[in-house]
Amino acid sequence: MSRQAHWETVYSQKHEDELSWHQPSPAASLELLDHVGLHADASVADIGAGTSRLVDSLLARGLGDITLLDMSGAALDATRARLGAAGASVSWTVADVTRWQPARRFDFWHDRAVFHFLTAPEDRAAYIARLRDSLKTGGHAVIATFALDGPEKCSGLPVMRYAPQTLAETLGAGVDLIAERRHLHQTPWGSTQAFQYSLFRRG
């Protein structure tokens, strides 16, 4: 099964409270975005947006330039239905980030739990190329992955686990680590997963 088919199946067959990664509030992400001055005029790309509530929080803060990217059209359809008229200004992109051809640059790049699924070196390289191509100079990226003591698999797929410093080394020069947070995520059924959230600045 292809990556895209996998995620279409997941989001088509499961309610969000059956997904281990579901969180009612993206507090850890917002904390880091606020750390560098998230403002209403900012442009944000949410990579692997799924059915995340980040877009709800951004719209509530008055942001209008928001792009949601996910491999699953079913996930984005669910988010679009949830937002209703409030999501009229959102741009919806069904794509694999490793093959995406961004046509513009953004102030902020957000990724909660996409990069850690990229276990092949060529996929990581493709992701990093898209990050560099689409993030403005001086722009910021929040990338959250499983921490070194986090799960070894998610949704039946193997993952890579990172410390902030090893993630920074993987991204390479010109994308500078400026803040980090450890986060213990509670799944909908009460288990705990260790994440690391890293904030980078594009030089």
* Cβ-contact 62, 40 below 8 angstroms: yes
Q: What is the pLDDT of residue 180?
A: 98
The count of structural domains within the chain is: 1
Count of all residues that appear for the chain in the document: 203
Q: Which residues of 3-12 are buried (b: 16+ CB within 10 A; e: fewer)?
A: ebebbbebbe
Phi, psi of 137 (to 5 degrees): -60, 130
Q: Give the 3-state secondary structure of residue 155.
A: coil
For residue 152, how many other CB atoms are within 10 A of its CB? 9
Nearest-angstrom CA–CA distance, 36 and 92: 25
pLDDT tens across 73-96, in order?
999 999 999 999 999 999 999 999
Residues facing residue 154 across a β-bridge: 157
Residue 130 pLDDT class (50, 70, 90 cuts): very high
Residue type, 76: L
Nearest-angstrom CA–CA distance, 129 and 57: 28
Structural domain boundaries, residue 7: 3-202
Q: Which two tokens stand for residue 75?
A: 């996930």
Best CA proximity match to 90, nearest among 70, 111, 108, 66: 66
Alpha-helix residue ranges (DSSP H) falling in the chain:
3-13, 27-35, 54-60, 73-83, 121-134, 164-171
pLDDT tens across 6-25, in order?
999 999 999 998 999 999 99
In percent, the amount of the chain with pLDDT more than 90 equals 99
What is the CATH number for 146? 3.40.50.150
Look at the alpha carbons of 96, 120, 159, 167 in this order and tell me if their dihedral is positive or negative: negative
Residue 47 pLDDT class (50, 70, 90 cuts): very high
pTM of the entire predicted model: 0.96
Predicted confidence (pLDDT) at residue 140 exceeds the cutoff of 80: yes
Residues 6+ apart with CB under 8 A from 149: 161, 194
Tokens 């750390």 -> residue: 35
Q: What is the pLDDT of residue 60?
A: 97
Long-range contacts of 83-87 (CB under 8 A, 24+ apart): 83/55, 83/56, 83/59, 86/56, 86/59, 87/55, 87/59
